[in-house]
């Protein structure tokens, strides 16, 4: 069982898309999964309702009676995995959600603001590990990167800057593809509906690396060093 939290204090970094894709990949692999939606716009439940394979995914939101800890524990008692999509802000709920996670993924686009806020979020994840008193796997996921084989200089620069502050950057990156932009309109998820596509291969690579981080695979850690 794994709890995966997508966190970034900056909005628009790709947290929700990554969370949606992670839920879809778990379903594609036959796992039971639930989601906790801390985004004020509540996008997860609305999106899952459009996708026949995802309509039964349980999506919880905090209310006046049950907060993050109680909701996560309840979801984890009923499902193999829990995926948490955080709001683009630093709040008590986001800190709690990171402290409960087995894996915290920090999505980051290429801008200076994404980098600055990504570093801040990484440090919050480090603090969450100290508070929890247990290992929490962590990784920076670069998003909206060039889909081709060659990495642009700005991506190499971001990787270097994150590594300078001790952040682990996933080798796989979430490419800037039309499929991800169209997904919420068409309800067509590449790795759920077209496993042979390049977009599907892209996210499956991201997903496999995330799972390796949870498992503590040293080869995965070394590959992004």
Distance of alpha carbon 55 from alpha carbon 49, whole angstroms: 5
pTM to 2 decimal places: 0.93
CB atoms within 10 A of CB 159: 19
Using an 8 Å Cβ cutoff, are 143 and 174 in contact?
yes
Q: Residue 36 and residue 21: Cα distance in Å, rounded? A: 14
What residues in the chain have per-residue pLDDT under 50? Answer: 221-225
Instruction: Please give the Cα distance from 28 to 18 (Å, whole number).
Output: 15
**Cα(144)–Cα(146) distance, integer angstroms:** 7
Q: How many CB atoms lie within 10 A of CB 197?
A: 14
Residue 142 contacts residue 152 (beta carbons within 8 Å): no
SS3 213: helix
The full set of domain ranges for the chain reads 2-223
CATH of domain 2-223: 3.40.50.300
pLDDT of residue 1: 81
Q: What are 73's two structure tokens?
A: 């524990």
pLDDT tens sequence across 38-88: 999 999 999 999 999 999 999 999 887 789 999 999 999 999 999 999 998
């Amino acid at each position: 069982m794994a709890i995966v939290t997508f966190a970034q204090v900056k909005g628009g970094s790709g947290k929700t898309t990554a969370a949606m894709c992670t839920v879809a990949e778990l379903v594609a692999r036959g796992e039971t999964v639930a989601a906790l939606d801390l985004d004020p716009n509540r996008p997860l439940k609305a999106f899952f309702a459009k996708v026949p394979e995802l309509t039964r995914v349980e999506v919880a939101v905090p209310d006046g009676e049950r907060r993050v800890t109680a909701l996560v524990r309840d979801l984890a008692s009923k499902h193999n995995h829990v995926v948490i999509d955080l709001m683009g802000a630093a709040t008590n709920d986001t800190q709690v959600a990171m402290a409960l996670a087995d894996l915290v993924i920090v999505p980051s686009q290429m801008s200076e603001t994404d980098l600055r806020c990504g570093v801040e979020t990484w440090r919050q994840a480090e603090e969450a590990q100290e508070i929890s008193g247990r290992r929490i796997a962590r990784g920076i996921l670069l998003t909206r990167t060039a889909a081709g084989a060659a990495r642009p200089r700005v991506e190499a620069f971001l990787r270097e800057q994150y590594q300078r502050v001790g952040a682990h950057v996933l080798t796989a990156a979430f490419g800037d593809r039309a499929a991800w932009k169209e997904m919420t309109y068409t309800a067509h998820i590449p790795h759920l509906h077209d496993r042979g596509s390049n977009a599907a291969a892209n996210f499956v690579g991201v997903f496999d690396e995330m799972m390796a981080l949870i498992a503590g695979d040293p080869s995965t850690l070394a590959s992004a060093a």
